Amino acid sequence: MAAMITVYGIPNCETVKKARAWLDAQGRAHAFHDFRKQGVPQERLDAWLAALGWEALLNRRGTTWRQLDEATRATVTGAASARALMLARPTVIRRPVVEWSDGSVTAGFEPDAWQRRG
């Protein structure tokens, strides 16, 4: 039995909706982890940071980042400060974060790259 695909994000995010609909359309079973209701699992966040790097995981284009005051944004200078912000404000994480059945991790929805996963 193959490991499950897990999608992390928030249910009302348009990108998360598109990603989940794409997986459904491809017949790819997946579990959904809601950051708002279930929080961000610290051990998973650490694995994502190790796999992707904090710059790829931090969504500087999103509403949450733009709503932060300049002083708070200025404190995010490396992995440790980005991690602290992501734990405090999970919606600043680029969505969706997907843990694939092969153990790899991606952030964001890219249908072409996902299609190549087979």
Q: Find the catalytic residue in 2, 6, 10, 13.
A: 13
Cα separations (Å) of 13 from 50, 70, 71, 72, 118? 25, 24, 26, 23, 25
How far apart CA 18 and CA 64 sit, in angstroms, is 20
Asked if residue 108 lies in contact with residue 96, where contact means CB atoms within 8 angstroms, the answer is yes
Query: Any catalytic annotation for residue 13?
Result: yes
Residues marked active site are found at: 13
